[in-house]
Amino acid sequence: MTAFKKLFIGSLPFSFHLLSTAVYAQGVPLNIPAPPNLRVTDLGRLISGAIGAILVVATLAAFIYLLLGGFQWITSGGDKAGVEAAQKRIQAAIIGLFVVFAAWAIMILVGRFFGIQNIFNLVIPSGV
């Protein structure tokens, strides 16, 4: 089989979309009621709430890890290995906080890029 025949036979199933024409069908109204005990009716709100909860839990975990590192440093009693382990724990907690903040900032930027207002429904407290 020549290369042309292989190319022709291989592209034949994908070429049928070029022959189709636009079809303007009438929409069918679907009135499906929501279940009575369903609280979340919007998938976007559900995903937004889940991501917001994950960010809050990750931030709390990083702060707890930071506190544990500080406690480990205080209770190391001058032991060099204990102090180094505490420093590594504190460094990991700070990096974790930066990662959580970066994830939050990226999600806000993506939301603004796609025109989504208030993507997480999180309110940043201000001094005013």
Place of tokens 């806000």: 108
Question: In angstroms, rounded to a whole number, what is the distance separating the alpha carbons of residues 70 and 79?
Answer: 14
Q: Is there a contact between 83 and 76 (Cβ–Cβ < 8 Å)? A: yes
Q: What confidence tens digit (pLDDT) does each residue in 102-114 have? A: 988 888 888 778 7
Q: Is there a contact between 72 and 85 (Cβ–Cβ < 8 Å)? A: yes
- Give the model's pLDDT for residue 72: 93
Question: In angstroms, rounded to a whole number, what is the distance separating the alpha carbons of residues 42 and 29?
Answer: 19
pTM higher than 0.85, yes or no?
no
Task: Please say if the pLDDT value at position 128 is more than 70.
Answer: no
Residue type for position 107? M
